[in-house]
Amino acid sequence: MIGRLWHGRTTRDNADSYQRLLVSDVLPGIERIPGSRGAYLLRREVPEGVEFVTLTLFDSMDAVRAFAGEDYTKAVIHQEAARLLERFDERSEHYEIVLPR
C-alpha cells in the first residue's frame, strides 16, 4: 500500500471552511477512485494559522497515477480548496506502508 502525504496551511478564519470542503467533497471524491483505500485528515494550530495534512492511501503506484496523472508527485488541488489556502506543498510525497494499521 502507498501513502500520499501532503501539507497545506490556511488562516484561522478559513480553516473550518477548508475542512468542511475536504470532508464533504474532496476526500469522498478521491475515495471513489479505483485503488483508493481512504484518507486521514490531520489538523493543528500553528503560529501562522492552521496547518492541514492529508494522508491518502492507495493500493499501488498505478492507483496513485490514476488519481494524480503521470507526474504523480504534483499536488492535486481542488480549485475552491486552493482559494482557501494560504500556502501548500506543490508536490506530494509517497511512502510504502510497511506496517498495516
Asked whether residue 101 is domain-assigned, the answer is no
Asked whether residue 37 is domain-assigned, the answer is yes
Q: Does the pLDDT of residue 82 top 90, yes or no?
A: yes
Q: Does the pLDDT of residue 39 top 90, yes or no?
A: yes
What are the φ/ψ torsions at residue 37 (nearest 5 degrees)? -120, 25
Asked whether residue 25 is domain-assigned, the answer is yes
3-class state of residue 35 by DSSP:
coil
The CATH number that applies at residue 45 is 3.30.70.100
Count of domains in the chain? 1
| Of residues 62, 66, 56, the one with CA closest to residue 93 | 56
pLDDT tens by residue, 45-72: 999 999 999 999 999 999 999 999 999 9
Which range of residues forms the domain containing residue 89? Answer: 2-96
Asked whether residue 49 is domain-assigned, the answer is yes
